[in-house]
Amino acid sequence: MYKVIIVDDEDMIREGLRRYVDWENFGFVVAGEASDGNQAYELIAQLQPHVVLTDIRMPFCTGIQLMHRIRDEHIKTKVVVLSGYDEFEYARSAIETGASGYLLKPIKKDKLREIFNRIRQEYDADIQTAIRNKEAGRLLREEYLRRLVNGKSDTPEVLIGRGMQIGVELQTEQFCVLLIAFDHHSRLLLKYTDRDLELLRFALRNVAEEMFTRWGGSYCYDMDRYTVGILIAGRDFGSSELGMTAEELRRTIARILQCDITISVGDIVPAVDDIPASHRSAARLMEMKFWVGTSRLITAEDSVLPPSCNAQSPVEWNAEKMALLLQKKDKRCVDEQLDACFTGLATKEAVYDAAYRLLKYALKHAEKHTLLIPELAELKMKEMSLLQRKETKDEIIATIKHIYAGLVEHADRSGRNRLVDEVKKYIEADYANDITLESSAERIYVHPLHLSRIFKKETGITFSDYLTGVRIARSKQLLDDLSYKIYEISGQVGYRDARHFSKVFKNEVGITPTQYRQLVLGFIDEGE
C-alpha cells in the first residue's frame, strides 16, 4: 500500500475524504491528516508519504507554499491539490509547481479514482524499473567479478576503473576470495524447487556480504547452482580473522537457513591482478571437501591429503575373499576389507572406480543369491546414479558399507524367502487397497512371473489365494462386530462390490457373510 496524507483546514472535508473514499481499493492507506501546510510539512518529514492530498487555500501555510517547500527540499512526494471553482489562479500555480493532479470541490469520486489510479501505476512502474535496474546492476557486477577472479580481464588500472563504475571498490591493500558451497545436494533437490534454490543463494549472499564488510568491501557472485564466491577487498585482515568470520557465517547459515555449507578461504594477495591466484587457491581447497568432509571451514592447513589417502598402495580387489567373508556373515571383516579397498587412493577418480567395482560385485552377488537390497535395486534401475549424489569419500564408503551390511544381514536367509516375506508384509499391511501381482512385483523390483513362481513354491498357494485368505480372515474378525454392515466390511477388506465379496466369502467359507453371522456367531443381522 502507498501512503497518503490529507491536508485541509475544514474538518468535515478531511473526515469525508478519510471515511468515504475506498483508499484500499485504490492501493493507498491514509497515514495522517493535517489542518494547514505547516502541520503537513511536519507529517511529511515524519511519515514520508507517497502522496499529499492538499487544499490550496489554508491559513498559516497554503497548499502552494507547501508544494514549494516540498520541491525546494527535494522531497520525493507527489501532490494532488484541491480547489474551488473560483481559485483558477491558484490551480494554475499548483500545476506549474509540479502538482500530480488537480481536483475541484465538490470532489467527484470518478475523478479522484482516475488521478490516484494513475499515481499508483506511476509508482508501480518506478518500482519495477528500480527492480530491473538493480537486478541488471547485480548481474553486471557478478559477471565482472567472475571475469575478474578467473583472470579474463584487463590491466589493474582498467579493472579498478570498471569496478568503480559498478560499485566494486578495488583501490585497497588486500584481497581474498572465499568460496561457499551448499552441502548435501540431493537433500536440497528433494526439499527445494529451482526458484527456492535461487532464493537460498540470494539469502546466503546477503548474509555473507553483511558479515564480511567488517574487513572491507565484500562482493558476492554465483559460481554455479550450489556455490557462491565472495571477494574481500580491504586492509588489516589476516587469514585467522577471515577464518573466524567464515566459521561464524557457517554457523549462522545453519541456524537461519537450516542448511549446511562448506567454506574455503583462498590466499590473501596484495594486488588486483593477484585476485585470480586467490580464487584458484580457494577452488583447490574446496576440492578437498571430497576428502575432509562437509559442513566445515577448509583452510591451507587442509591442503595436504590426510595420511589415510597416501600412506600405502591400494589393495588389490579379491572377489573370492569377499565372497568367503559374506558367506561367513562376518560384518567386521567385511568392513575391514572394504576400508582396505579405499586405503591409498589419492584421487576422486580412483575412489569412484573402486566404489563402482564394489557395487557391481554386490549387485551380482545379490542377483545370484536372490537377495532383496533396496539400494541395489535402485542402483540397477538408475544405472549407478546412487554414487553420483555423494559429495565426499566418507559418504561413498558409508554407502558401500551399508549395502554390504545388507548382503551380510540377508545371507542367512534364502533370497526367495526374503522376497516372499516382503510381499506377505505388503499384503497384510495394505490388503484393503487395490493390490495386484504386478504392483507387488514392482514394489520388490522383480518380474511378476518370477514373483508368481517363487511365491507358489515357497507357500504352496498362489499369490491370489494368499491375498484372498488374508482378506477373508480379516472379514471374519469384522463380522464379529454388529456395528458394521456387510457392505461396509466388504470395502474395508478390499472388495468394492459387496455382492462380489459375498460370492468370494461363500467360495472360501462355504456360507455367505450373513449366514456366517447367523450360524457361526449366533447373530441375526437385520437389515442386510
Query: Which CATH class name applies to 139-302?
Result: alpha beta
Q: In what order do the strands lie in the sheet with 2-7?
A: 28-34, 2-7, 51-55, 78-83, 101-104
pLDDT tens digit sequence for 129-164:
877 777 777 788 888 899 899 887 677 788 888 888
The grid coordinates of residue 138 equal 547485480
The superfamily in CATH containing domain 2-107 is Response regulator (3.40.50.2300)
User: In sequence order, what DSSP letters do the residues of 512-528 get, joined into one string?
Assistant: -HHHIIIIIS----TT-
pLDDT given for residue 381 in this prediction: 43
Task: Reduce the DSSP state of residue 136 to 3 states and report it.
Answer: helix
pLDDT given for residue 416 in this prediction: 56
Strand pairing class (2-7; 51-55): parallel
Distance CA 296, CA 283 (A): 15
pLDDT given for residue 525 in this prediction: 52
For the chain, domain boundaries = 2-107, 139-302, 310-409, 416-520
pLDDT given for residue 155 in this prediction: 77
Pick the CATH number of 416-520 from 1.10.10.60, 3.40.30.10, 1.10.3080.10, 3.40.50.10190: 1.10.10.60
pLDDT given for residue 468 in this prediction: 93
pLDDT given for residue 527 in this prediction: 45
Low-confidence ranges of the chain (pLDDT < 50): 307-308, 310-312, 381-383, 526-528
pLDDT given for residue 87 in this prediction: 60
Total-model pTM: 0.57
**3-state SS record for 80-134:** EEEECCCCHHHHHHHHHHCCCEEEECCCCHHHHHHHHHHHHHHHHHHHHHHHHHH
The residue count for the chain: 528
pLDDT given for residue 410 in this prediction: 66
